[in-house]
Amino acid sequence: MGKAKDRTGPLARRPDNSAFKQQRLPAWSPMLTANTVLPFFYLLALMCLLLGVWLLLTVQSTQELKLDYTDLGSCSECYELRKNVSYAEQGCRCKVEFYIDQTFKGDVFFYYGLRNFHQNLRRYMDSRDDAQTVGRESQLKNPSTYCEPFIKDKDGVPIAPCGAVANSMFNDSFSFNYQTSSGHIMPVPLLRKGLTWYTDKNIKFRNPKTGNQTLAQVFEGTRQPLYWQKPVYDLDPSDPTNNGFINEDLIVWMREAAFPNFKKLYGILNRAGDPFTHGLPKGNYSIQISYNFPVQPFQGRKLVVLTTLTWFGGQNLFLPIAYLVTSSLILLMAVVLTVAWWKFGKDGKNMKE
Amino acid sequence: MVKILYLLDCYPQLYCPGQLNMYFSKKAFVWCMLHSCYSSLVLFFIPWGAIQDTVRDDGRDIADYQSFASLAQTCLLVVVSAQLCLDTYYWTTVNHFFVWGSLAAYFAITFTMYSNGMFLIFTSIFPFIGTARNSLNQPNAWLTMFLTSLLCVLPVVALRFILMQIRPTINDRVRYKMQKDTLPAPPPRRPVRRVSTRRSGYAFSHSQGYGALVTSERFLFKRPIKSRLAFSVQPDGPLARNLPQVFRPIAEELHESQSSKS
């Protein structure tokens, strides 16, 4: 009985007699048996335990220092000053001191941290114009309406960069000093570049094409955001690769944090010269802070964080502890399963019909 | 599929779970909801805890909104695929293709959506540029995914195993029996070739049958035709007497057909 015969007549539409069409494909049918499930659970418990211990040791090898300077020492005067919006134009400097008791070996990263600042609020996150910051000429003087009300100033001049995110940029600045054993105060050199993702710096943020104009001329006809002290083309006039929209501090700030307590990279220790070749030596340090960012209106706090890193990241004990807890839970489950199997299901005694 | 139909024939108790509404009842729904609440909590809070105070290994940001969203989403995909693998009882090549293929498609689509080209063409629609590349190359992210999938999938496995030990359902018993005694291939229900007229389709037992035709004078005085045609009836067969047919296995049938030839 060939297929040709079936092409006409009452059996013309019968499906082919292939394994695929007759649902006879070879199949693997796994089943939860004791001799697969139980060793699997024990193995996983062991693996989680080893992972947890390894991660814990890795995280413990990092060193971290967190310093809340919102109203610490002389900064409390600046804190009081910043409560009043009418003094916003007035500068305020304060000094904070701290002591490192153990050398921070390796690369040291400096962060500024904020607490209770919700960069993840939806209206806030929408209030930006990525097309403007990617350097589109058409959007420079005509930003998207998502930036309302931070889109034009009272004279109708468009704002660049527009939006609430850019407007609320963190503008405290720090300079760190180290007191050597001889009492001499020397500044701690920081690298203030290389703080951003490659894609952010090179693709997401671009200055509008300059041609033979200066950056200031390109931005003619726009204004700086209302809360800024300097226009965007003056953020770092000494370095054209860090000026305008591609300024690293701006890019770091524009990458909105997921949670209300966050930290953002400010600088990396420059280990070129003594005594910082091996990291931050132990001793007395002080920070000169230019205190501009007001946090009292939202009951926020400001911090400075110094940390060393490993391949796993900074000092975050959540994942190692979670692995250890999970490993003990899995072990407990495995023991319970073994007991259940031994008592009820061994040799298939529960499967009798 | 053929196997399943065969099982339903041999073990009619397999119909019971359906009739008793075991798998689609209010209780099943409540269990499902509890399981999803637990999974949702795990899928949010484990990435939250892992990401909230961390940075990448080169000091740059990983605790940003886009990386967190992308990580939570990838954790979800991994957990869902693992759950799907648990629920798949017959792994054919088609299953393999679609399960691994959908995971691969997810990563392909994600990387495409977060690529430079998409951002430059549709700037406001695809603002997540670079997120997948910068967060998924961190071992931190993969360890988070592994932990999340363990916490979501292992309780299900443990629960199923315990229920199988303490209160095995009819499905479990049948599968166990099938695995234990490797059953022979089920005998075919009816052959394709209609050499013998005894094996014509049972559907004819519903119809009037050919009694009138067969007992008419056309047939009574002729030898029964050794037929290769379908639908002809033996005069003394059960159909002729308007009785339902009984199926015989092949060996007996061949012997009978040989005897009918002679």
Which chain B residues are Cβ-neighbours of A25 within 8 angstroms? 92-94
What share of chain A in percent tops pLDDT 90?
75
**What is the spatial distance between Cα A331 and Cα A45, in angstroms, rounded to a whole number?**
5
Helix locations, chain A, DSSP H: 3-6, 34-60, 75-82, 122-126, 130-133, 137-140, 164-167, 198-199, 215-218, 248-254, 318-340
Cα angle value B258/B209/A8 (rounded, 5°): 70
> Is residue A205 very low, low, confident or very high in pLDDT (cuts 50, 70, 90)?
very high
Which residues 140-179 on chain B approach chain A with CB closer than 8 angstroms? Answer: 140, 143-144, 147, 150-151, 154-155, 157-158, 160-162, 164-166, 168, 172-173, 175-177, 179
Q: Is B10 on the interface with A (CB under 8 A)?
A: no
Q: Is residue A281 part of a domain?
A: yes
Where in the sequence is the domain holding B161, given as residue range(s)?
A: 37-54+61-180
Given this model, what pLDDT does residue B202 score?
A: 46
> Is residue A303 very low, low, confident or very high in pLDDT (cuts 50, 70, 90)?
very high
Per-residue pLDDT tens for B11-30? 777 888 888 888 888 999 99
Among A135-139, A144-148, A314-318, B201-205, whose mean pLDDT is lowest? B201-205
Given this model, what pLDDT does residue B57 score?
A: 92
Q: Smallest CA–CA separation between B220 and chain A, in Å?
A: 30
Among A213-222, B54-63, B174-183, whose mean pLDDT is lowest? B174-183
**Residues 6+ positions from A299 with CB-CB distance below 8 Å:** A116
Q: Is the pLDDT of residue B79 over 80?
A: yes
Given this model, what pLDDT does residue A273 score?
A: 87
Where in the sequence is the domain holding A168, given as residue range(s)?
A: 61-319
Residue of B3, B10, B53 best to disrupt the A interface, most CBs of A under 10 A? B53
Q: Is the pLDDT of residue A48 over 90?
A: yes
Q: Is the pLDDT of residue B111 over 80?
A: yes
Given this model, what pLDDT does residue A88 score?
A: 86
Given this model, what pLDDT does residue B245 score?
A: 62
The average pLDDT across A66-92 equals 92
Q: Is residue B216 part of a domain?
A: no
Q: Is residue B25 part of a domain?
A: no
How many domains does chain B contain in total? 1
Q: Is residue B164 part of a domain?
A: yes
B200 vs A50, more confident: A50
Q: Is residue B103 part of a domain?
A: yes
The 3-state secondary structure of A124-135, one letter per residue: HHHCCCHHHHCC
Q: Is residue A125 part of a domain?
A: yes
The average pLDDT across A243-268 equals 95
- Whether B53 and A263 lie within 8 Å, measured CB to CB: yes
Q: Quick check: A201 and A126 in contact, CB under 8 A? A: no
Given this model, what pLDDT does residue A29 score?
A: 78
Per-residue pLDDT tens for B221-260? 555 444 444 444 455 666 666 666 665 555 544 444 444 4
Which chain A residues are Cβ-neighbours of B12 within 8 angstroms? none
Given this model, what pLDDT does residue B112 score?
A: 95
Given this model, what pLDDT does residue B193 score?
A: 53
Which residues 176-195 on chain A approach chain B with CB closer than 8 angstroms? Answer: 195
Which chain A residues are Cβ-neighbours of B151 within 8 angstroms? 326
Which residues 321-350 on chain A approach chain B with CB closer than 8 angstroms? Answer: 322-323, 326, 330, 333, 336-337, 340-341, 344-345, 348, 350
Helix (H) or strand (E) holding B119: helix B116-121
Given this model, what pLDDT does residue B9 score?
A: 76
Which chain A residues are Cβ-neighbours of B191 within 8 angstroms? none
Per-residue pLDDT tens for A284-298? 999 999 999 999 999
User: What is the DSSP secondary structure assignment for residue B128, as one 8-state letter?
Assistant: -
Among chain B residues, CA nearest to A51: B143
Tell me the three state secondary structure of residue A76. helix
B203 vs A25, more confident: A25
Cα angle value B48/B52/B55 (rounded, 5°): 130
Q: Is residue A333 part of a domain?
A: no
Per-residue pLDDT tens for B35-46? 999 999 999 999
Half-sphere exposure of A300 (CA within 13 A, CB side): 20
Q: Quick check: A165 and A151 in contact, CB under 8 A? A: no
How many domains does chain A contain in total? 1
Residue of B7, B16, B46, B123 best to disrupt the A interface, most CBs of A under 10 A? B123
Q: Is residue A339 part of a domain?
A: no
Cα angle value A257/B132/A51 (rounded, 5°): 85
Find the CB nearest B90 among A29, A259, A341: A29
Our measurement of the distance from residue A100's CA atom to the centroid of its chain's CA atoms, rounded to an integer in Å, reads 26
Among chain B residues, CA nearest to A29: B90
Among chain B residues, CA nearest to A267: B59
Which residues 258-317 on chain A approach chain B with CB closer than 8 angstroms? Answer: 258-259, 261-265, 268, 309-316
Q: Is residue B132 part of a domain?
A: yes
Closest listed residue to residue A309, CA positions, set A56, A65, A64, A100: A64
Helix (H) or strand (E) holding A190: strand A190-191
Residue A339 tokens, joined: 């007991």
Q: Is residue B118 part of a domain?
A: yes
Q: Is residue A96 part of a domain?
A: yes
Given this model, what pLDDT does residue B177 score?
A: 78
Given this model, what pLDDT does residue B239 score?
A: 62
- Whether A255 and B68 lie within 8 Å, measured CB to CB: no
> Is residue A181 very low, low, confident or very high in pLDDT (cuts 50, 70, 90)?
confident
Q: Is the pLDDT of residue B105 over 90?
A: yes
Which residues 152-171 on chain A approach chain B with CB closer than 8 angstroms? Answer: none
Is the bond preceding A161 in cis, omega lying within 30 degrees of 0? yes
Q: Is residue B10 part of a domain?
A: no
Residue linked to tokens 């605790």: B63
CB neighbours of residue B98 within 10 Å: 13
CB neighbours of residue B117 within 10 Å: 11
